[in-house]
Structure 1
Amino acid sequence: MAKRLIPALNRVLVEKIVPPSKTSAGILLPEKTSKLNAAKVIAVGPGDRDKSGNVIPVCFKEGDEVLLPEYGGSEVKLGDKMFHLFRDDDILGHLVE
């Protein structure tokens, strides 16, 4: 049975995007140039609550590409895949084309 994780409160489950280590022509890229802490949002929690009990929604949605901080988050293994769990305010921003 496959497990699915639904994050609590204002947490966001992401899968890191692994940049290619080679170009389409087969040229190896140095590790430094291919390092970008990008991830795809897999699931989001319902949001946190303010002092009045109102829900503050998470500003990301499933499928968004985001920029992560260099450190932080919690590693989560579901099946044979690794994911990371971050609070929404720890995520640095959206990646758009």
Structure 2
Amino acid sequence: MARRLIPSLNRVLVEKIVPPSKTTAGILLPEKSSKINSGKVVAVGPGARDRSGNVIPVSLKEGDTVLLPEYGGTQVKLDDKEYHLYRDEDILGTLHD
């Protein structure tokens, strides 16, 4: 049975996207060019509350591809897969094709 993590408050669960280490032609890419700085949103929390008690919803949704900060986040391992938890405001932006 697969476990599912629902983040609390304004947190976002992200699975980092690992870029290929070589091109389709078989050329090895330098390690620096394959830095992981994007990910796919797997789950979002309900949002944080302001001073009045109103819920401020998370600005992202499941399935969004996001730009991640170089440092930060909390590593989480579920069913042999690695994820990272970030606060909504720590995500740098969404990526669109």
Q: TM-score range by the shorter chain?
A: over 0.9
Q: Tell whether the 8 Å contact from 2:22 to 2:29 is kept in structure 1 after alignment.
A: yes
The secondary structure found in structure 2 opposite 1:89 is: helix
What is the TM-score normalised by the length of structure 1?
0.97
Which whole-Å deviations, capped at 9, do the CAs of 1:63-94 have from their partners, x for residues lacking one?
00001111111000001100000000011111
Percent of aligned positions that are identical: 76
How far apart, in 2, do the equivalents of 1:33 and 1:71 lie? Answer: 17
Question: What is the CA–CA distance in structure 2 between the aligned matches of 1:42 and 1:81, rounded to whole Å?
Answer: 12
Deviation at 1:2, TM superposition (A): 1.4
Q: Where do 4+ consecutive residues of structure 1 move more than 4 Å?
A: none
Correspondence list, 1:7-86, <5 A:
7-86=7-86
1:20-48 deviations in Å (ceiling 9; x for gaps)? 00111111111111214100000000000
User: 1 CA distance for matches of 2:88 and 2:13?
Assistant: 10
Letter in 1 for 2:6: I
Question: Any gaps of 5 or more consecutive residues in structure 2?
Answer: none
Specify every segment of 5 or more residues in structure 1 that has no aligned partner in the other structure, as ranges: none
Superposed CA deviations along residues 38-64 of structure 1, whole A, max 9, x for unmatched, are 000000000001111111010100000
TM-score, normalised with respect to structure 2: 0.97
Could you say what secondary structure the match of 2:63 adopts? coil
